[in-house]
Amino acid sequence: MADPEASNQSGGYDVEQFVDTPDYDLICTICQGVLKCPVRAACHHIFCKKCILQWLKRQETCPCCRKSVNPSLIFVMFKLSKSIGRMKVKCKNEIRGCSETFSLSEQYCHSMTCMYELIPCPYQGCRVQLLRRDLDTHARHCEHWRQPCHMGCGTILSHRTQAKHNCYKQLRQEYEARHRNHRAIATALQRGR
Ligand SMILES: [Zn+2]
Ligand SMILES: [Zn+2]
Ligand SMILES: [Zn+2]
Ligand SMILES: [Zn+2]
Ligand SMILES: [Zn+2]
């Protein structure tokens, strides 16, 4: 019986992600994806860890050769896992315009900086989802944009209040600058006498 939840959770990496078609022996026979955290059973068949553990909950035989499998005798293949991690993949945002490729192990780091990643607007209360590269443009109009006054007066400004903000810190700074200027003129005049 098909178990939609199990197929959603199943382990492997989507074959389509890879720049070069992955070798047949890197494909998990349970999920048909590229092995994620590969483990080897006593019969020497290899599966994603998640896939085989889920399989063994229902029957304790290898899905390839039907030999019985002892769940405590499956071993993670670290070397294989590492070499799969070095395989080149395309960005999952390729359809949105990202043309970058990188090794599988760098995928997470890339998604944190990918300009074509769909992210929620970071300003509280805003429900807009946008591409990371559009964030600056959006922030200029976002109703929920908030930023403390750059003068450090402690006021939190929105786009609406920013234009009207009469900052006491700024006024004081201007006043002090003018004052210094007047003093300088006065000193100069005194010296000139
Ligand atoms: Zn799998
Ligand atoms: Zn087997
Ligand atoms: Zn990308
Ligand atoms: Zn926003
Ligand atoms: Zn201010």
Q: What is the pLDDT of residues 23-43, one digit of tens each?
A: 999 999 999 999 999 999 999
Number of the ligand closest to the Cα of 10: 1
Q: Rounded to the nearest 5 degrees, what angle is found at the Cα of 119, between the Cα atoms of 82 and 13?
A: 25
Which residues have beta carbons under 5 A from ligand 2 (an ion)? 43, 45, 62, 64-65
Q: Which residues pair with 75 in a beta bridge?
A: 40
Q: Where are the domains of the chain?
A: 4-90
Number of the ligand closest to the Cα of 46: 2
Which residues have beta carbons under 5 A from ligand 5 (an ion)? 149, 151, 153, 155, 167
Number of the ligand closest to the Cα of 39: 1
Residue 70: closest CA among 92, 38, 42: 42
CB 108 within 8 Å of CB 127: no
- Is the pLDDT reported for residue 6 higher than 70? no
- In CATH, the architecture of 4-90 is 2-Layer Sandwich (3.30)
> What residues contact 65, with CB distance under 8 A and at least 6 apart?
43, 45
Band of residue 60 on the pLDDT scale cut at 50, 70, 90: very high
Band of residue 192 on the pLDDT scale cut at 50, 70, 90: confident
- Is the pLDDT reported for residue 3 higher than 50? no
Q: What is the pLDDT of residue 163?
A: 86
Amino acid identity, position 146: R
Number of the ligand closest to the Cα of 123: 4
Q: What is the pLDDT of residue 193?
A: 64
Report CA(94)–ligand 4 centroid distance (Å): 24
Number of the ligand closest to the Cα of 126: 4
Q: Is 134 helix (H, G, I), strand (E, B) or coil?
A: helix
Report CA(3)–ligand 1 centroid distance (Å): 15
